Every structure is written in C-alpha cells, then in structure tokens.
Structure 1
C-alpha cells in the first residue's frame, strides 16, 4: 500500500483531464519545479498550461504504481502508464514505464521530476523513427 501522499499524487493524475485542471492548485505548490524528458517548467501556472496543452487531445492516460517510498518530505514512485493519443501510433494504447521523484513543502509538491524513455513513449511509434530506433537497438544488442 502506498503512502497517502503518493496515493494522492497517483489519484490526481488518474483523474486529470482538461476539465479539472484547477485541482492542480490543491496538490502543487505555487513555486513548483516540474521536469520531464521534454520540458522544464517553473511555477504552478506554467504547469497548468503545460498540462492543459498535453491533455487537450489525449484520449486517456492511466497510471499504475509499481513501488513507492517516502522519507520525510521526499518521495519516489515507479509506475506504468497506459495511454492513447491520436498523434502517437494512431491512438493505439501504449505502455510506458517510468518513475517520479517528488518533494513536498507546506503539504504541496514543490519538485516533480519524471524519468521515462521517450523512445518507448513516442519515437518507436512514429513510422520512420520507429523503424530507425528498432534498428539501432538491434545493432546495439548484437554488439
């Protein structure tokens, strides 16, 4: 069973949609630093804009926790995300494995850093890049 703060975090992302982005104010600190493999965002308002753009065309995203741990005001959670987006693999469901490092201040997340393989999430599902990345992986595995 996950610590309540990690469960709240997971629940937040599992119910997130363009129609309920204001709930971001309850979980994220106004001065949050958000980092993922594509962006670095500072401030809750900028994070809300980023999420609004990201969830605009998303069919769905569902997160399942693998493991989680919290020590004082720092936490770590590994997860699997099942998602469908019309621009990625023509909307076919894909699974991405990742993890998130978190820090809390005043019971809100002030630091959020996602780690995941962008190839697993996007590149391998694009026609030319998918073929190219699979060839590179094969070549690396052969060596």
Structure 2
C-alpha cells in the first residue's frame, strides 16, 4: 500500500470533528466528492458534509476492511458504524460500502466517490419508510 493510501486510510479510521478541520491535508482544494446523498466539489462543501455528519450522529466511525491500490487509484471497502441522534439513539447501525478514490500528483485526493445501498442500509431501517420499502421489495420479487 502506498503512503498516500495508508495516510488516507488512517485519516478515515481516526476521523473526529477536530480532524475534519484538517481535511485540506488529504483533499485537493477542488476535490470532487459524491455519495448517495451528496455531490459536491471543493473543500468547504466536503467539510460541510462531514461536519454535518458529526452533528446528526453519535460516534460515527469508519473501519476499512480492504484496500486495493493501483497507480493513482485506490478502492476502499468499509463498514460505517454510528448511532442516530434522532431515531433509536441506543441502537448501533452499520452501513457496508466502498469508496473509489483518485490521488492528485501531490498525494491528496482529487476524486472520492462512495458506493453504498441507501435503500437497504438506511431507509429500510426507518419506521414508515422501512415498511414501505419492505412492501415494495415483496411486490417486486
């Protein structure tokens, strides 16, 4: 694993509100970020997403399970654990996903796209939406 990949992995596994403030050490100024809920470009927009995560969730934590690295590209497989502040805060939730990352020539990330199943990993666990999702899944099967 390259030093860039290892540094990025460590950053995500040790992410805290304080470390979000230093996100520019790991992302280029014009970095692109996309996940199932967001598509943004630039450090302020990326920082806002992760600041918001710490406002909405208790103890959010990424555990990197696998890393594949080739050239300037890396692929991370991860588990994201957290507790929602507004819904069943006592229950630990887990989302399994992956991230496709490209490193710029200076070693920072210029492209970051997260892939995870929002329907099954998140929506299906919510009371009203979850019941609707399960009903739709049965009808589609």
Say if 1:7 and 1:140 are closer, same or farther in 2 by CA, change over 3 A.
farther
Q: Hey, what does 1:109 align to over in structure 2?
A: 109
Structure 2 residue 94 is matched with structure 1 residue 95: yes
What's the RMSD between the two structures over aligned residues?
1.8
Unpaired runs of 5+ residues, structure 2, are none
Q: Hey, what does 2:38 align to over in structure 1?
A: 39
Separation of aligned partners in 2, 1:128 and 1:64? 29
Separation of aligned partners in 1, 2:75 and 2:116? 13
- The more displaced of 120-129 and 110-119 is 120-129
Q: Hey, what does 1:62 align to over in structure 2?
A: 61
Say if 1:120 and 1:93 are closer, same or farther in 2 by CA, change over 3 A.
farther
Task: Kindly state the Cα deviation for residue 131 of structure 1 after the two structures are TM-superposed.
Answer: 1.0
Task: Kindly state the Cα deviation for residue 57 of structure 1 after the two structures are TM-superposed.
Answer: 2.9
Unpaired runs of 5+ residues, structure 1, are none
TM normalised by structure 1 equals: 0.86
Structure 2 residue 9 is matched with structure 1 residue 10: yes
Say if 1:137 and 1:7 are closer, same or farther in 2 by CA, change over 3 A.
farther
In the alignment of these two chains, the number of paired residues is: 140
Contact 2:72/2:102 (CA < 8 Å) preserved in 1?
yes
C-alpha distance after superposition, 1:20-63 (max 9, x if no partner): 32220111111100010111110012111221122213211222
C-alpha distance after superposition, 1:52-85 (max 9, x if no partner): 1222132112222232111110111111111212
Task: Kindly state the Cα deviation for residue 89 of structure 1 after the two structures are TM-superposed.
Answer: 4.2
More helix by share: 1
Task: Kindly state the Cα deviation for residue 4 of structure 1 after the two structures are TM-superposed.
Answer: 3.8
Contact 2:13/2:64 (CA < 8 Å) preserved in 1?
no
Task: Kindly state the Cα deviation for residue 3 of structure 1 after the two structures are TM-superposed.
Answer: 4.5
- The more displaced of 69-78 and 118-127 is 118-127
